[in-house]
Structure 1
Amino acid sequence: MPGAGRVSTVANVHQVEQLSAGSLVRDWFRMLVGLTLGSVTGLAGLAASAVDVFVVELTEYELSRIARFDRAVLTNPLTRKGCRRYLAVRWLVGALGAGVLWMLAFWYAIALSMVTAWLLDGDWGFIEEEGVVTLGLIGIVAIPGLLVIFVTTAGVVGVSVLDRWLATTLLGTSQQTLLRERVAELTSTRAEVIEAIDDERRRIERDLHDGVQQRLVALGMLIGRAKRARGEEQLQELLQQAHDTAGEAIDELREVATRVYPAVLDDAGLDAALEVLAERSSVRVAIRNKLTESPGTALETVIYFVTSEAVTNATKHADPSMVEIYLGPDGEDGITIVVRDDGVGGADPTGTGLSGLARRVKAVDGDFDVTSPPGGPTTVYARVPCG
């Protein structure tokens, strides 16, 4: 039917408006309850701050109350001094809330009495004398009374916002500050990722120049000598050397390609890629993978390169007899990566390899840490979020 879509749209908009109004009413009543509890605990907080007892416990309660009846506050780690200062100021907000509640109850009681008078006595606030209708006392009081009721009702929201603002200011970090810190962190991370990419490119170029390119040059020279060989025995010897050099060049090229990105990671997944890593390592590598499902291609790539670089660093610098790799969920929607070796220890976290790993993990908002006392063992810890 023509116009049916418009009717449906109007109905949907009306429903959304009703839901929004209902949500506002529910939020107001929730803030009212929170404000009532906060008014009661205000004096308790002042007393606790004066004698310096239970300040941390009361602060934790206030934060949980704000989170339950309004919104959660992002705070720094609570200290006794900070909690005491917060409670010493917060009683003012509690007193203000108590005043708002008293005014709210007072004016709503007056409004209820007026409505009762109008309904029972029929006095609607108008007086008629000699044909002239004027406002009576009830009518005169009703107009400013309604305005006061509205302002007092809005005061519940205002005090709740002030309560949350005070907790954020004295105990935590504002949203604007968090946003600025996040922008600065992302800017720094982007610069570090670009630097890590450039370092990787330089390393690949060195590997190709010092390894594969030199093998190919030697291969060309061997083939040239074979073409000038005078005897069958010398020709066969040079061809064998050329064959061996070509095999070495292929192995080094495959090694470089694997360091750029292992094809087995796409073809067979993380388990197979780690198995290949263990097989190609010059030391024994033990793998414990507790992941029950794939975290996705992007995270699998990060996990693989973290473990691969950690194993390579251990093999080159720590002289270990065994390297252990552990992967598993951390219970907080993240994945834990631990690479431990029994080598000589003393690893420098600011070195090229480990700092590159830190940048790679930080690029996905992960955590990275290295523990390497002299004499070992060395433990590389990383955590990457799955969200």
Structure 2
Amino acid sequence: MANVHQEGQLSAGSLVRGWFRMLVGLTIGSVTGLLGLVAAISGVGVVRQTGYELGRIARFDRAVHTNPLTRKGCRRYLAARWLVGGLGAGVICMLAFWYVVALSMVTAWLFDGGWGLVQDGDGVTVKLLAMVAVPGALVIFVTTAGVVGVAALDRWLATGMLGTSQQALLRQRVAELTSTRAEVIEAIDDERRRIERDLHDGVQQRLVALGMLIGRARRVKGEEQLQDLLQQAHFTAGETLDELREVATRVYPAVLDDSGLDAALEVLAERSSVRVEISNELKASPGTALETVIYFVVSEAVNNAAKHADPSVVEISVWPDPTGITVMVWDDGDGGADPTGTGLSGLARRVKAVDGEFEVTSPRGGPTTIYARVPCE
């Protein structure tokens, strides 16, 4: 019960603080409305003034999602915004006037010993004060709500003339998620097909060869030939196990769960046919989901470089920033990597599935840089 009461107090306090922030923003906006009108008429500094208005709205209310600012659009916005500034100035002046009246009434009641000392013999003054107090309280309430209304109007005007509405952003986000979901399903199907090819062309063929060697060993009569066939079978069985481990690692590396991203990247570097240098600046685990994305970005990039670019070195860099994690894989190979190829396009879909960014720069002759950034709290 105490927790519920405390949450209610915090909620009320946040509402009051939010109202005062809107009041301060509206006061500043009342002044800048005239400055914006001057800028719109003269055509000087309209983009800068618009940027200031958007920053003011974001600071004292909440951010507005806008399209890239243009001089023409900013000029139209500032030409209309002075009306909102004037409306805000009117609300603030009315609010201040009635607060002064109310304060005067309270002061008279406190310091003059009650209203009985300020009324005349017929009680006219008391009636006059009552007539002023009732509508005054209503006006104060209306103007207090008007601060919120004008702030919302200010934000609506900026959104309508410069940006995208919340409904449009929501529709855009739904479309992005729908597209990403379809791409993830396609990537999963591609991965399944690749695993099937690896098993069919590699492991399965080696198992067939192993079975044939064992069959031949059962039929031979000479001890020397038997030992030779058994040695070949033993060697083939070892190769099959190694290839099966490689397929399993490409599906999901167990070391990632057992020892974390650092160890998984070290194992990847040890198994690579080219020299790999790693710089991992993450101090803590970002979570299994993001570690998996980071690992597969690095793994696919290193495998592509080793297979197609013939580099002398591959450099892996992973570092955090305030809102996410950046991964960069650089190699000094031949370049010419195709971002639309199966491997890199699959990586792009995997990164987009976590709202990340993916970019490939690979001119002919190299070097190749693969850049990925995933959001992280």
* Kept after mapping to 2: 8 A contact 1:314/1:343: yes
Residue 340 of structure 1 aligns to a residue whose secondary structure is strand
Residue of structure 2 equivalent to 1:73: 64
Per the alignment, residue 193 of structure 2 pairs with 202
Counterpart-to-counterpart distance in 2, 1:326 and 1:21 = 47
Equivalent residue in structure 2 for 1:337, among 327, 350, 357: 327
Offset, 1:46: 0.6
Q: Is the CA contact (8 Å cut-off) linking 1:341 and 1:379 kept in structure 2? A: yes
Mapped to 1, the partners of 2:122 and 2:285 lie a distance apart of 74
TM-score (norm 1): 0.86
Backbone CA RMSD of aligned residues = 2.6
Partner AA of 2:227 in structure 1:
Q
- Quote how far apart the aligned CAs of 1:114 are: 6.4
Find the aligned partners of 1:14 and 1:382 in 2 and give their Cα distance: 46
Which residue of structure 2 aligns with residue 385 of structure 1? 375
How much does 1:366 deviate?
A: 1.3
Structure 1's 18 and 122: CA in aligned 2 closer, same or farther, altered over 3 A? farther
Q: Is the 8 A contact 1:125 1:138 kept in 2?
A: no
Distance 1:110 1:347 in 2: 75
* Contact persistence 1:124–1:139 (CA under 8 A): no
- Is 1:179 the counterpart of 2:173? The answer is no
Which shows bigger deviation, 238-247 or 141-150?
A: 141-150
**Which ranges of structure 2 fall in alignment gaps of 5 or more residues?**
none
Alignment correspondent of 1:5: none
2:121 & 2:15 partners in 1: Cα distance? 31
2:111 maps to 1:121: no
Instruction: Give me the whole-angstrom Cα distance separating, in 1, the residues matched to 2:32 and 2:189.
Output: 58
Matched, 1:365 2:355: yes
- The Cα offsets for residues 45-103 of structure 1, whole Å up to 9 and x where unpaired, read as 01101111122222222223223322232333433333222211111101111222333
Which residue identity does 1:193 align to in structure 2? V
Amino acid at match of 1:337: V
Report the Cα offset of residue 123 of structure 1: 6.4
Sequence identity (%): 79
In 1: Cα distance, 2:238 partner to 2:293 partner? 30
Corresponding residue for 1:233? Answer: 224
How many Å apart are 1:197 and its aligned residue? 1.2
- Corresponding residue SS for 1:325: strand
Consecutive unaligned residues in structure 1, runs of 5 or more: 1-8, 128-134
CA distance in 2, matches of 1:93, 1:12: 41
Q: Output aligned runs, 1:1-387, within 5 Å.
A: 9=1, 20-108=11-99, 116=108, 119=115, 121-122=118-119, 139-140=130-131, 142-329=133-320, 331-387=321-377
Count how many residue pairs are aligned between Structure 1 and Structure 2.
370
Aligned-partner Cα distance in 1 for 2:315–2:9: 60
Q: Which amino acid aligns with 2:84?
A: V
TM-score normalised by length of structure 2: 0.88
The one-letter code matched in structure 2 to 1:286 is E
Mapped partners of 1:296, 1:18: distance in 2: 35
